[in-house]
Amino acid sequence: MSDYKDIIRVIVVSFIITLILGPLLIPALKRLKVGQSIRKEGPKTHYKKSGTPTMGGIIIVIALLITVLTTGLFNQDMKVLILSTIGFGLIGFIDDFIKVVLKRSLGLKAYQKLIGQIALAVILAVYQSNNSILGTKIIVPFINGTIDLGMLYVPFIAFVVVATVNSANLTDGLDGLASGVTLIILSFFSLIALNMGMNSVAIFSAALGGACLGFLKHNSYPAKVFMGDTGSMALGGAVAGIAVLLNLPLIIPIVCGIYFAEALSVIIQVTSFKLTGKRVFLMSPLHHHFEQKGWKETKVVTVFWIVTVVLCLIGVYSLS
């Protein structure tokens, strides 16, 4: 049975491993010349970031694996969460590899990403529907009840998972933004999982949270390394997997509100431009809009962190 001491221990171990891995792997990424290219239409303040090593999500994933494999809680749920994290992270890694190593700017084609993402999401949904004590039921926040989705469970969960992964990917655009927001979200899930008696999920969430905390040492402004799609998709896959195993997919739009605000801003921007030729935002995703309004990068990141803390508190209230 895990308790808060176990959670703290796991966070510290993962944090220290990430701190150690950074100075070892970041120079290696530099030698491999896997530098980030900055889009010309992006904020001018980002031009100086060109060449900063990317694919740093490898650091997070390695720290996570070392930590969870030594906890003694390597059960079926843990295996599924690792599959979700590494599976989505691998899609991101291939995309990064094509873009920064093979120098093909577009990376994987959209349909190629979607095929892999949907396959992983369906595996996650089928596993949970067959192994959860709730079956195809999911918990509804605020009403302390459940709803049985029946045949709609698998397609609904698959949609939520794919949406979460891609939203997390869009959030990774400023130094420390995705890693900091996800750290807060994982802290929420770790506490909720512990309260629900889902010990392996709580430990996994804590381990990944500790890795995100350690990664901030290397990724906060000015970033020495970016996580790349390798990291952002791995984090999105982990968060989605955790929510599904806790039967809480409906909590994602609340606690992951920043993820979805970022994704929604892109959808609104593209739709508006195609239909009317006008843009709603100065630039999308949303964090770039605030930069264009004159906010410093560090201010945008701090505000988005604070908003995520508030959203997670609302999430706690919704389940009380």
Residues annotated in the binding site, as ranges?
169, 229
The overall longest dimension of the chain from CA atoms, in Å, is: 58
**Which are the contacts of 320, defined by CB distance < 8 A and separation ≥ 6?**
none
The answer to whether 140 touches 249, Cβ cutoff 8 Å, is no
Q: Which residues are annotated as a binding site for Mg(2+)?
A: 169, 229
Q: What sign results for the dihedral spanned by CA atoms 172, 176, 181, 186? A: positive
Query: Which residues face 53 on adjacent strands?
Result: 35
